[in-house]
Structure 1
């Protein structure tokens, strides 16, 4: 398996243009919207594969979410180390992306930042089933923060083909992996985060 070369990001194929991800998020730039819709999640506790895609560790997981008053279906989650987005100039140890698709094909990604702290049972389950394609139980709750405040903007996928018009919801409250788990994760990928991209006057909306 050929891994995506994160040291040569300028050579990645690009299909488009001025709405790329990740970006630097901050309270100073965000438009506060007290009426911004809340996010709701109904994820299954059964995963159906774990694989190394060459761009990161990916876990197949089913479920549903209500994002921006629209229904989406969860497809998978994957992990970047260190984080791709920054929040108020802070980078995190890792970033988990929950990738969703609407019935019209539109994509939405919910991102959870990861910092060192309590051990994650979810990550332990992922390790135990690496490269398996059979169903297994996975306790997703510990990689989805209780606080659902977020930043929202329109961006792109962060790996080729870097498709745009992706709805991003970056959660403000981080989740935790133990330092040992983070070290183990970085043994797979010590640097599979895309460089920050220009905002290009896109609005960033804060949920509070």
Structure 2
């Protein structure tokens, strides 16, 4: 069943508010990334195996209980959602799907794990997501084992939410390892959700850091 939303990806210029110098997504140029000794491993733990479906008018989300450690700071899981095509680019390349896993610290700081997916093997964990999206309500079982890479090497920069209100100051951790979903799963996502990728934004004077686990 095709979902209905309150924002139009064909008219992104109408989104409010616009402006700001630290918007997301961006094109990550790996040759221009920098290393930084202050970065640390990311740890992710989901304490529940059920997720609740929610359409917030901008994307289809799954809400669940979990935590992540970003640079030795604790963040609580808020929701996961997906974009087709990918919003971030890697050396100009666009992937057919990108997952966003949103976390929030007790102080309100937002951190997002971004994951690229390329067409390949059938992904059972993404199939659970699609089944819940297709139902459009209620709770369902989920696992992120096939949705977030085991190797959590990442690219890090400060950006924004990619849907209104486009809030800046968001910590982005874009995984370097690319996972797989099947071509049929990508088409099924688009049939349910539609294409929902925001255009790339100017990087301006921001640095993109690279961290190897």
Distance 1:47 1:75 in 2: 13
1:184 matched to which residue of 2?
188
Say yes or no: does 1:109 pair with 2:112. Answer: yes
Q: CA deviation at 1:147?
A: 1.6
Question: Could you report, residue by residue, the CA deviation over 1:53-103 in whole angstroms, capped at 9, with x for unpaired residues?
Answer: 343221112101001221100111000000000012111011000000000
Q: What is the rounded CA distance, in whole Å, between the counterparts of 1:89 and 1:13 in structure 2?
A: 26
Name the counterpart of 1:36.
39
Structure 2 match to 1:84: 87
| Alignment partners' CA distance in 2, 1:149 and 1:123 | 21
Distance 1:144 1:61 in 2: 15
Cα RMSD of the aligned pairs, angstroms, is 1.6
CA distance in 1, matches of 2:51, 2:39: 33
Structure 2 match to 1:166: 170
Q: Give how far 1:16 is off.
A: 5.1
SS where residue 28 of structure 1 aligns?
A: helix
Structure 2 unmatched runs, 5+: none
Deviation track 1:28-68 (CA, whole Å, cap 9, x = no partner) reads: 22112355311111123423312343432211121010012
CA distance in 2, matches of 1:124, 1:56: 17
Residues 107-130 of structure 1: CA deviation (Å, up to 9, x unaligned): 000000011112122222223333
Distance in 1 (CA, whole Å) between partners of 2:194 and 2:201 is 20
Q: What pairs with 1:111-150 in structure 2 (closer than 5 Å)?
A: 111-129=114-132, 130-134=135-139, 136-150=140-154
User: Partners of 2:47 and 2:119 in 1: how far apart?
Assistant: 26
- Number of residue pairs matched by the alignment: 207
Q: List gaps (5 residues or longer) in structure 1.
A: none
Q: 1:24 and 2:23 equivalent?
A: no
Report the TM-score when normalising by structure 1: 0.93
Contact persistence 1:49–1:131 (CA under 8 A): no
SS in 2 for 1:141: coil
Q: Is 1:49 aligned with 2:57?
A: no
Task: Tell me the secondary structure at the aligned position of residue 11 of structure 2.
Answer: helix
- Is 2:177 the partner of 1:193? no
Q: 1:24, 1:88 within 8 Å by CA — same for their partners in 2?
A: yes
How far apart, in 2, do the equivalents of 1:3 and 1:192 lie?
12
